[in-house]
Amino acid sequence: MENKKKSFFYNNSLSIVFVIFTLLALTGQYITGWHEYNEFLQEHDQPSIALSQYVRSGHFLQATFENWESEFFQMALFVILTIFLRQKGSSESKKLDGEEEVDEEPKDHPGAPWPVKKGGFMLKIYKHSLSIALLLLFILSFAMHWYGSWKDYNLNQTLDGKSPVAMINYLGISRFWFESFQNWQSEFLSIFAIVFLSIYLRQIGSSQSKKVDAPYDETRE
């Protein structure tokens, strides 16, 4: 009953705030990227494009999806690797010994999600649905980054009087992988930072931190 008395925003405030942050940042990227792209076109004696056209440009697609790709990649790896790997003292790790609630086989009860009630194949998929969804988002973002980067690369090739390359051949060009690796390494570093720093540092009130008075070697939140 208590939960029903809370407002919709209170019950969903964490998701709502991050969606707003995402939209604000994406809008800022879109407008500033459009200005930068038109400056690039003018420098090469090409006509400027309208704001509405920018969304289809390789410049925008590459810049957007190379970041999304790395985010979903690191989240998928983090979800999967925390099944098997441990970090003593970290709030982001499972306990060093013994099983936890998340390791238990699902049971059908009144509040269980519908795939648990249905069982069978649907339950098998649902048991891994978070990692599956994140991997699919990574693959989609990777493909869009590949397409956008290829499109932008061929524009530069054309403006420089060089021949464009086929999309499949673009996978063998270092520029594409440089764009990916520079984002992947930053995401892996950020995961290491939260895993390691949560051993020794605290943030009162945060679900990502251990209790302020928890010992350094105490694992889990």
**What is the per-residue pLDDT for 4?**
62
Q: What is the 3-state secondary structure (H, E, C) of 55-110?
A: HHCHHHHHHHHHHHHHHHHHHHHHHHHHHHCCCCCCCCCCCCCCCCHHHCCCCCCC
Name, in order, each residue with C-beta under 8 angstroms of 87's C-beta and a sequence gap of 6 or more.
93, 195, 196, 199, 219
Identify the band that residue 55 occupies on the pLDDT scale cut at 50, 70 and 90.
Answer: very high
Identify the band that residue 99 occupies on the pLDDT scale cut at 50, 70 and 90.
Answer: confident
Which of 32, 66, 49, 56 is closest to 144 using CA atoms?
66
pLDDT at 57 over 80: yes
165 with 58: CB under 8 angstroms?
Answer: no
* Least confident residue range of 26-35, 98-107, 134-143, 166-175: 98-107
Give pLDDT tens digits for 178-220: 999 999 999 999 999 999 999 999 999 999 999 999 999 999 8
29 with 143: CB under 8 angstroms?
Answer: no
CA angle, 11 then 13 then 19, to 5° = 135
For the question of whether the overall pTM of this predicted structure is more than 0.85, the answer is yes
Q: Enter the DSSP assignment of 53.
A: G
Rounded distance between C-alpha atoms, residue 196 and residue 190, angstroms: 10
**What is the per-residue pLDDT for 2?**
55
Burial of 167 (0-12, 13-18, 19+ CB in 10 A): middle
Angstrom distances, CA of residue 174 to CA of 51, 84, 165, 181: 30, 33, 13, 10
SS3 call for 48: coil
